[in-house]
Amino acid sequence: MEQPRKRLSTILLAMCFSLGMLLPATGAFAAMKADINSASATQLEAITGIGQDTAKNILDYKKEHGKFKSMDELEAVSGVGKVRLEALNSAFTVGKKK
């Protein structure tokens, strides 16, 4: 009977850890945002919902129009709607890291 309890405890611990990894960062970690103007394709693709195409569109837009002046300007990028803009707002800033 001890083995099933250990196994259940391990499974529950793993589930709690996994859930913690999925939730947005809070506190000090949430304040660590990267600058969208210096973000690489890899950094952009690390954001949930941002794939290769959207990352490429962001970088191409920046190359054509210059640095972003505000995060709202990202809505002009093909493939960035309100939902993706929210994801980017939580991960990036315009200018210095905050």
At residue 84, the pLDDT reads 83
At residue 17, the pLDDT reads 56
Q: What is the pTM of this model?
A: 0.63
- 19 part of a folded domain: no
43-81 residue pLDDT tens? 888 887 788 999 999 999 999 999 999 999 989 999 888
DSSP, residue by residue, 69-84 = SSGGGGGGSTT--HHH
Q: How far apart are CA 6 and CA 18, in angstroms?
A: 18
4-46 residue pLDDT tens? 666 767 776 566 555 555 555 444 444 567 888 998 999 888 8
At residue 50, the pLDDT reads 84
CATH number for 73? 1.10.150.310
- 10 part of a folded domain: no
Residue 2 has pLDDT above 60, yes or no: no
Q: Which helix (DSSP H) or strand (DSSP E) does residue 14 occupy?
A: helix 2-22
- 59 part of a folded domain: yes
Number of domains in the chain: 1
- 55 part of a folded domain: yes
- 1 part of a folded domain: no
- 98 part of a folded domain: no
Domain range for 30: 25-93
The amino acid that residue 96 corresponds to is K
